[in-house]
Amino acid sequence: MLELLKDSTYIRYWFAVVASFLGDAMARITLIYVAATLTDAPAALIALVIIAQLLPTGVLGVFAGPLTDRLPKRVLLVGSDLARVVIVLAMIPALGSSWLLLTLIFLEGLGKTFFETARIAAIPAIVGNHSIPSAVALFQSTNHTLNLVGPALGGLLIALGSVPAVLVINAATFAVSAVLLGSMGVLKKVPVSAGEPQRYWAALREGLREVLRVPTLRFLFAFLVPMMIVLGLFTTNFNAQLLTVFGLPPAEYGLAHALFGGGAVLGALLGPMMVRKYPVRGLLLVTVALFGLSLAALAPTEWLRGQLGFTSVVVWCLLAGLGSSLFQVPIANTVLRDLPEVLRGRGVGLLNSVMITSMVVGVALGGLTASWPGIADSIVYAGLALLVCALVFAIPVRRATRVEATSEL
């Protein structure tokens, strides 16, 4: 994996991603803080902020695909970055208006939708097909680390009374990303289709149809729905579990979060080794089942806390972080490996739409199930449901494996 950091092309891509994602992580916590201070009903406005951040990718992500397949990746990446520079700077005078701020957050999310679709689709061109697992793992581990560091830096700047400073820094990170990505010649290439150029809607329909004809991708998209619903529910109720059920004080809460992030980084680093060693579909089933087990392990953790105290909590957080990260490398590897180059944009757009839409459903379910059956029980039941899903989806995988083995004889 570390050999990628010696590649001058990849290192520019990696620094661009680090800059962009660090600024995003800082701004995310800042905008939630601003939302909490703008109204007498902060919970409702915070929910709207989160929805405005996720909705563009969930609803519109699939529509970014045809443009990603038709235009040079550099045009979309640099254009998205520069547009977000303007949008984020426009948030500064809008900090006193909740609806104007929500509109700008939605537009920033729309820019991120085009950026992410083009960024993911460009990975094989940057690193080559043989290095996809390592590139995905390095990105995932970097992303998890930035999700720990970014909010901490944002919170520090908020404490110093510098909300506009966070937004200026976020805009600057997009500018840095645009400069780095704009210097990469490999991103100029446009995939060449064998047929005649198509109109946008025809290209979208054909792309989705061709993507879903690939058996491994059809299986993956179906399996993603329950997987991401559970992840969304867990994401919603994890903090509530630590703060309200376990009642952790600030220092222990911070340590628990750090260990969750550490487990996520470890899961991302283990991904390439596992992808090289095991069949990807089977690996995906096993890693999702392990995530389900880590959530179900909350049940004995509550009992063990009476015996072992805070130690049992940090062990559970480490396992949950590991479980929530392990399956992400097989997902990305399957999509980038099995998609033809001319369909990568549309395939990645569909992937992002399915993942984010399912996760938003999970977030909503997390809020509902926190009241009944309760925060802890909802996490445990979600983990058990994910285990059942993994077992059900294992049936067609086993049949397909038998058919493949028979055809080779």
DSSP 266-296: HHHHHHHHHHHHS-HHHHHHHHHHHHHHHHH
C-alpha dist (Å) from residue 272 to 1, 7, 134: 8, 18, 5
87 and 223 assigned to the same domain: no
Is residue 77 a part of any domain in this protein?
Answer: yes
Q: Where do runs of H (alpha helix) occur along 278-342?
A: 280-296, 298-308, 310-326, 328-338
The pLDDT, as a whole number, for residue 226 is 94
Residues 268 and 293 in one domain: yes
Number of domains in the chain: 2
Closest C-alpha among 398, 393, 62, 406 to residue 212: 62
Report if residue 124 sits inside a domain. yes
User: Cα 399 to chain center, whole Å?
Assistant: 31
Domain boundary among the residues 143, 159, 189 is at 189
pTM of the model: 0.82
Same domain, 103 and 140: yes
Average pLDDT, the chain: 86
- Asked whether residue 72 falls in the same domain as residue 11, the answer is yes
Instruction: Let me know if residue 100 belongs to a domain.
Output: yes
Question: Does 223 lie in the same domain as 172?
Answer: no
pLDDT at 403: 61
Residue 258 falls inside a structural domain: yes
> Do 248 and 132 share a structural domain?
no
CA dihedral 248→249→254→258, nearest 10 degrees, is -30
- Residue at 287 is within a domain: yes
* 286: CB partners within 8 A, 6+ apart: 278, 390
DSSP string, 223-257: HHHHHHHHHHHHHHHHHHIIIIIS---HHHHHHHH
One domain for residues 332 and 298:
yes
CATH assignment of the domain containing 101: 1.20.1250.20
Same structural domain for residues 149 and 211?
Answer: no
- Give me the amino acid identity at 106: F
Q: Among the three residues 160, 189, 218, which one is the final residue of a domain in this structure? A: 189
Domain match, 160 and 238 both: no
Same domain, residue pair 275 and 184: no
Tokens 């997009």 correspond to 174
Q: Answer yes or no: do 209 and 111 share one domain.
A: no
Residue pLDDT tens, the chain, 409 long: 567 777 788 888 889 989 988 888 888 878 878 887 777 756 667 778 878 888 898 888 899 999 888 888 999 999 999 999 999 999 999 988 889 999 999 999 999 999 999 998 888 888 876 678 788 778 888 888 887 788 778 777 777 777 888 899 999 999 999 999 998 888 877 665 555 667 888 888 998 999 999 988 999 999 999 999 999 899 888 888 988 889 888 778 878 888 898 899 898 888 878 888 888 888 999 999 999 999 999 999 988 988 888 999 999 999 999 999 998 888 988 888 888 888 889 999 999 999 999 988 988 888 788 888 889 999 999 999 999 999 999 988 877 766 655 655 5
Q: Does one domain contain both 375 and 280?
A: yes
Report yes or no on 195 lying in a domain.
Answer: no
Instruction: Give the chain's length.
Output: 409
- Let me know if residue 199 belongs to a domain: no
Residue 70 sits in which domain range? Answer: 1-189
pLDDT in tens, 5-40: 777 888 888 899 899 888 888 888 788 788 877 777
Domain assignment of residue 1, yes or no? yes
